[in-house]
Amino acid sequence: MTRSSPVAIAFRYADPRFVSALNAQNNLRTTVPRNTRQPRTRNLPHKQRGVALLMALLVVAIATLIAVRIFSISTTSIARTESQARLDDAMHLSKGMEDWAIVLLWRDAESGDGIDTRNDTWAATLPPLPVPGGLVAGKLEDLDGRFNLNSLVRNGARDPVAMARFARLLAALKIDPALADVAADWIDSDAQVQGQGAEDLEYLRADPPYRAANRAFVHISEMRKLKGVDDKIYARLAPEIAALPIGTGFNVNTASVAGFMSLADGISEELAKRLWAQGRAQYRNITDVVDAITQAGVVLDPASMQDLKVSSNFFIARADVKLGDREFRFYSLIERTPAGGRVRQRSQGAFF
């Protein structure tokens, strides 16, 4: 017979309520609240997976930025290449316009009457013509009908006739005639200020400083650097002047109203407009011009007729080219010669 332990016997005959209370107490000692348990090591891989996800997103973002940058650079490069190609095509078309202008001027000289007016064939505007990928148009303008800045100084000295003519032109344009002295000082070879002119000491005070050219004008835009010339003055003056070889002469048939006013003292704006004939003047020789002026009561000094003529040798050829949605404008300075002609200058965008 198996003997029971005293503890077992005590539990067997004890009050049931005592036993239940004792068991409940033991359960409280061994049970640990759920929220007080220590983290388990199996939770650590979840944190590592979160860091890996962030790194992956960062890599994707960087790769996207790099791809966008590469695409942007490629697009810009393609656009630049296309723009350059169109510019090259436009330049070739503008040179074709130069050839057209030279041939037109040569034919006019061969078959014409020895004078150049705005009634001639070369003065007509060439309407837009279709070309592969676009249109091209053109126009010729005479330069001999403008005052030649380089005539101010001749053989190292100021030319009195040219100086007086330029001063009258400036007055007709409502510009201070003292600018004639400034322009002459710009191209003469010395450093001496004459009249109301300006030399190096004036321009060295500019920011940035520069010096007088002391040589002939190459382009009329040099006038922008002269003392007293601002944008408004230049805008009024530019259509009336040219930078041509000395001795080129002044074509009265293509002169402006202000150009006629510059020929002599006493020529009013009203008389100049009559001589100008709505831009269609067609004098056969200088004698016709002198007669028209003297009949109006203006006394002419024979010296004031210096360099006057009724024909032209220098022209501006303008080419307007449209290729796709791009528009280009080119200017070419053309000299008409007995053999045909040649291009002396080229510019894009604006000639003045």
Domain assignment present for 267: yes
Same domain, 173 and 290: yes
Q: Give yes or no for residue 183 having a pLDDT over 80.
A: yes
Domain assignment present for 67: no
Q: What is the pLDDT of residue 17?
A: 54
Q: What is the mean pLDDT of residues 318-335?
A: 94
Q: What is the pLDDT of residue 28?
A: 46
Same domain, 127 and 270: no
Domain assignment present for 30: no
Same domain, 208 and 305: yes
Q: Cα–Cα distance between 220 and 307 in angstroms, integer?
A: 20
List the end-to-end C-alpha distance of the chain, in Å, as a whole number: 135
Give the domain CATH number at 117: 3.30.1300.30
Of 23-27, 128-132, 138-142, give the lowest mean pLDDT range.
23-27
Q: What is the pLDDT of residue 45?
A: 62
How far CA 27 is from CA of 30, 33, 38, in Å, comes to 5, 12, 20
Same domain, 123 and 171: no
Domain assignment present for 72: no
Per-residue pLDDT tens digits for 13-71: 455 554 555 555 555 444 445 554 555 545 556 666 677 778 888 888 888 888 888 87
Share the mean pLDDT of the chain.
87
Q: What is the mean pLDDT of residues 111-134?
A: 92
Q: Give yes or no for residue 11 having a pLDDT over 50.
A: no
Domain assignment present for 8: no
Q: Are 272 and 257 in contact (CB under 8 A)?
A: yes
Q: Cα–Cα distance between 108 and 116 in angstroms, integer?
A: 9
φ and ψ at residue 346, rounded to 5 degrees = -135, 145
Same domain, 226 and 333: no
Same domain, 305 and 319: no
Using DSSP, state whether 218 is helix, strand or coil: coil
Q: Cα–Cα distance between 155 and 247 in angstroms, integer?
A: 11
257 band by pLDDT with thresholds 50, 70 and 90: very high
Please state the domain count of the chain: 2
AA letter at 161:
V
352, 332, 329: which is closest to 342 by C-alpha? 332
Q: Are 220 and 242 in contact (CB under 8 A)?
A: yes
Domain assignment present for 342: yes
Q: Give yes or no for residue 322 having a pLDDT over 70.
A: yes
Top-confidence residue, 96 or 53:
96
The range of the structural domain enclosing residue 128 comes to: 81-143+314-348
Q: Cα–Cα distance between 244 and 151 in angstroms, integer?
A: 8
How far CA 148 is from CA of 94, 166, 183, 245, 337, in Å, comes to 26, 9, 11, 8, 19
Q: Are 129 and 319 in contact (CB under 8 A)?
A: no
Domain assignment present for 98: yes
φ and ψ at residue 332, rounded to 5 degrees = -135, 130
Residue 253 CB partners (closer than 8 Å, separation 6+): 115, 116, 117, 118, 145, 281, 282, 283, 310
Same domain, 189 and 327: no
Give the domain CATH number at 282: 1.10.40.60
Q: Give yes or no for residue 289 having a pLDDT over 50.
A: yes
191, 189, 190, 200: which is closest to 225 by C-alpha? 200
178 band by pLDDT with thresholds 50, 70 and 90: very high
Kindly report whether the peptide bond that precedes residue 208 is cis, defined as omega within 30 degrees of 0. yes
Same domain, 121 and 152: no
Top-ranked range on mean pLDDT: pick from 6-15, 79-88, 221-230: 221-230
AA letter at 61:
A
Q: Cα–Cα distance between 106 and 101 in angstroms, integer?
A: 9
262 band by pLDDT with thresholds 50, 70 and 90: very high
Q: Cα–Cα distance between 213 and 184 in angstroms, integer?
A: 11
Same domain, 178 and 100: no
Same domain, 124 and 214: no
Same domain, 216 and 291: yes
Per-residue pLDDT tens digits for 203-252: 999 999 999 999 999 999 999 999 999 999 999 999 999 999 999 999 99
Domain assignment present for 172: yes
**Percentage of the chain surpassing pLDDT 70?**
86
Q: Cα–Cα distance between 147 and 238 in angstroms, integer?
A: 10
Q: What is the pLDDT of residue 71?
A: 77
Q: What is the pLDDT of residue 78?
A: 72
Same domain, 195 and 336: no
